Chain A
Amino acid sequence: MIIVIDALNKQDFPAILDDMFRLRARVFGDRLGWEVEIKNGQEKDKFDALDPAYVIGLDDDGHVVSCVRALQTTGPHMLSDVFSSILHGEPPLRSATVWESTRFCVDTQRLGRGTAPNSVSYATCELMIGSLEYARRSGIKDIVTVIDPVMDRVLKRSDNAPYGYVGKTTPMGKVPAMAALLDCSQERIDRVRNFAGIQGEVFADEARLRETQRVRFDAAKMPASSIRDNLFEYLREQFHAAGSDEERNAVERLAAQLHASAALTTSSPVMDNRIH
């Protein structure tokens, strides 16, 4: 299923975004060898700070398996900047009804072969359908997308061949990159749906996904907080068993440190964890 995350709803899906930036690090940094900046295992560039929209594919278990980033061509985008070598110094397309898509990738490690759900082919097609439908709904007529020749072949093989290219194929790390044109027509969407055998809605129910994300987030916090509670209980016992002021002070200092670190790592109230 597909989720569109932008500046308006990103606070609801931090874990999905983190997973997406990690997937991008593995694909563009490790596999394709592009000169991208990776910090803490996540690949981000200055265009991620410009409130782009991310179209993200999740597998049945909720893992991020594909993603792409969209920006308007009327404002700053990659072909007007870091990918300008593809255009050989020519100014890029600029149109109200053309979006640029970059960082298109799928998780070839997690996904299997073949064409069944949770395969590379299926995930690629589902992401394409999601991107095209999102763009079409927004009144966008064409997408200019920066891809590598492997992705170009995948598009051609899935009845989704670009109708044209701008600029020239240009070396970008271990593999070349190119700028391909895709129309956001219903005909193209139908062709990809037909090829992949995807008939229904590809978009996730955002409210439901928000809820599962929240539950998952709370569950992830659970062990840490129960350890913390046990530690406080232990300190409380030590405090009451202490034989001198010195010992009591030492326990209090430890409790204060624990209190401070707990306040840093959790938003839940820690006030009732005082030891006396």
Chain B
Amino acid sequence: MELIDLSDNVGKEAIFRDFLDQICDRFELDHAAYAGVNPVSGTIHGFVNYPDSWKLHYTQMGFDRFDPTLHKAGRSIAPVDWRRLSQDDNYHRVFRDAADFGISEVGLTIPVRGPFGDIGMLSVTRNCKLTEWDLLTKGIMSELQSVAVHIHDTVMRSDSLSKVLRQPNLSRREREVLQWIAAGKSQYDIGDILSISHRTVEVHLRSGREKLYALTTAQAVARAIALGLIYPL
């Protein structure tokens, strides 16, 4: 199943929660949570698909004030497996209770940093053995990174000022690659045309696609045309 593109549905909380459900379905995870801070609008965003009973308990206990998956993971540049936080006293205060609600402590948090000091975190968890977890996460880490940035960018663009600030800023090379894609050329062809390696083409394409908040190359081409960044052919 393909993930629904979030960026056409800005500001609709139900859509974000649905996106978390899709992430869980697609990557075989139990629960997902996103939290993000937008310093431009001064807002904090949070979406989870945890059971309501756990959400209520978490809020009542004020776990959000010291939960290390929220307060520490954001300072890493790499995904933080929760095992890394288990030295923290606060970790046990949260996860001792989590166990009572059937929430696993097998999980990780992907920190996202945006261009304006904005920070987001996508946390995912699954009730399974650690060996199984390690095998699973190894295979999906790149995709989790991409969906983490996608949901973060979309949430951060949900107020009008931030949307203006976050206009896609593509380099000449990224526009060139997208233009040749629109003309039906393969990445190998484009490498030959531009005299660069096909992996260089790929990295520019990936960067251009993500700057356009698109999940697929087709979406990226459509948006680039709509924004007048490339010519329709």
Contact = CB atoms under 8 A, between A and B. Distances in A.
B77 A139 contact: no
Interface residues of B, number: 39
Nearest to B81: A137
Interface in B89-146: 112-115, 117, 138, 141-146
Contacts of A98: 203, 206-207
Given A6-B78, A138-B78, A138-B79, A97 B142 contact: yes
Contacts of A13: none
Contacts of A75: 112-115
Nearest to A50: B113
B12 interface: no
Interface in A23-50: none
Interface residues on A, range: 35 or more
Contacts, number: 109
Given A8-B84, A94-B211, A99 B77 contact: yes
A93 B113 contact: no
6 contacts: A7-B76, A74-B114, A91-B170, A94-B207, A95-B203, A97-B146
Nearest to B170: A91
B200 interface: yes
Contacts of B171: 87, 90-93
Most B Cβ at <10 Å: residue of A75, A96, A134: A96
A56 interface: no
Given A75-B114, A75-B115, A95 B206 contact: yes
Contact of A72 (B113, B117, B199): B113
A8 B210 contact: no
A164 B196 contact: yes
